[in-house]
Amino acid sequence: MKKILVTGALGQIGSELVMHMRSIYGNDNVIATDIRRIDGNVAVESGPFEILDVKDAKRMAEIAKQYNADTIIHLAALLSAVAEAKPVLAWDINMGGLFNALEVARELNCAFFTPSSIGAFGPSTPSVNTPQDTIQRPQTMYGVTKVSGELLCDYYFKKFGVDTRGVRFPGLISYETLPGGGTTDYAVDIYYEALKNHKYSSFIKQGTYMDMMYMPDALNAIVTLMEADPSKLVHRNAFNITAMSFEPSQIAAEIKKHIKDFEISYNVDPVRQAIADSWPDSIDCTAARQEWGFSSKYDLASMTTDMLNKLSGKLNIK
């Protein structure tokens, strides 16, 4: 990877990935793009930044050519809950954007990464220790776009030789940029509310297990996969990866070790609960470990310590 074009660069993953990659590959070699510009944002100010609506294929190709991109990290997408509220727009952005990005990768011979999700699974998928290759019949628009995206990436690899790679991300927890519109967002919100108000009302029911990962492990996974020896990759799209699986009362208990009077209550959102119920409780990431050496550093305890520490600094709360 020498010249890396990132779409959705101001989102939850992008804002941290751009800085992480700039620290590895050099500021000028990571071109951040997003549909909006946020002046003062570190990803905008620290290197090249271009406004890009991923539905605009012509502009995407122009930017990639202008900067001689050899790698595309395509992150722009709507998350599960928003996609369920706006399914037509979700198809347009998630599939239209992906198709445009794959076409640019094909034309310019770029390596390509795009994330899939645990949302690519559905109620008929085995829900415990979900295998890499298994039933994928999601019942959400987000899931439909993720499975279609996985298939499309496989197609571009087999048909055109595009070097496509991807992972199925679990819920990602981070303190820099809020996720916005996902089902696993409760596991981010809870830290903000714990620090601000010492209580949190969860929109996900007690007992609902989902896979999760702390952002530093997610960033590391993307770079490790993109640097992996292609001859070792049996799977192209997309690898199961996870760092932990927990349900709301477990994250609350972990926070309580740091904030003694913290209390969790429940005000379940039926839409997001139904999505969560259709996703696995835990996924198996053996293929990712074997094919490109995936590993994670943070578990629930170490993530909670770091998250509360960093977030209290950010929010200026003692």
Among all residues, which ones are annotated catalytic? 142
Q: Which of 7, 94, 164, 184 binds ligand AKB (CB under 6 A)?
A: 184
Nearest-approach distance from CB 79 to ligand AKB, in angstroms: 4
Stretch that binds ligand AKB, among 23-31, 175-183, 221-229, 293-301 (CB under 6 A): 175-183
DSSP state of 96: I
Is 177 among the residues that bind ligand AKB (CB under 6 A)?
no
Q: What is the DSSP string of 174-220?
A: -SSS---S-STTHHHHHHHHHHHHSEEEESS-TT--EEEEEHHHHHH
**Residue 110 Cβ vs ligand AKB, minimum distance, rounded to whole Å:** 24
Is residue 21 close enough to count as binding ligand AKB by CB under 6 A? no
Pick one of 11, 97, 122, 182: the residue that binds ligand AKB (CB under 6 A).
182
Those residues whose C-beta lies under 8 Å from the C-beta of residue 116, and which sit 6 or more positions away, are: 146, 147, 149, 150, 166, 167, 168, 169, 237, 238
Out of 183, 202, 208, 296, name the contact with ligand AKB by CB under 6 A.
183
Q: In angstroms, what is the minimal distance from the CB of 231 to ligand AKB? A: 29
The residue sitting closest to ligand AKB, measured at its beta carbon, is 182
Picking from 115, 82, 119, 111, the residue whose alpha carbon sits closest to that of residue 97 is: 115
Closest to ligand AKB by CB, 47 vs 115, is 115
The bridge status of strand 210-214 relative to strand 244-246 is antiparallel
Place of tokens 């571009």: 156
Least Å distance between CB 188 and ligand AKB? 9
Nearest approach, Cβ of residue 10 and ligand AKB (Å): 17
Q: Which one of the spans 47-55, 101-109, 113-121, 222-230 is the region binding ligand AKB (CB under 6 A)?
A: 113-121
Does residue number 118 form part of the binding site for ligand AKB (CB under 6 A)? yes
SS (H, E, C) 20-34: HHHHHHCHHHEEEEE
Tell me the C-alpha distance between 233 and 236, whole Å. Answer: 7
Token match 């994250």: residue? 251
- Name which position in 119, 138, 149, 248 contacts ligand AKB (CB under 6 A): 119
- Using the contact rule CB under 6 A, the part of the chain among 102-110, 178-186, 196-204, 296-304 near ligand AKB is 178-186
126-165 mask for ligand AKB (x: CB under 6 A)? ----------------x-----------------------
Collapsed DSSP state (helix, strand, coil) of residue 93: helix
**Burial of residue 232, with CB atoms counted within 10 A of its CB: 0-12 exposed, 13-18 middle, 19 or more buried:** exposed
Look at the block and give the residue holding tokens 């954007």: 97
In three-state secondary structure terms, 153 is helix
Judged by CB, which is closer to ligand AKB: 8, or 182? Answer: 182
**Which positions from 71 to 110 touch ligand AKB by CB under 6 A, shown as an x/- string?**
--------xx------------------------------
CA angle 130/133/138 to nearest 5° reads: 70
Q: CA-based Rg of the chain, rounded to a whole angstrom?
A: 19
Angle between helices 248-256 and 186-197 (to 10 degrees): 30
Q: Which stretch binds ligand AKB (CB under 6 A): 100-108, 117-125, 228-236, 261-269?
A: 117-125
Q: Give the binding site for ligand AKB (CB under 6 A).
A: 79-80, 117-119, 142, 169-171, 179, 182-184
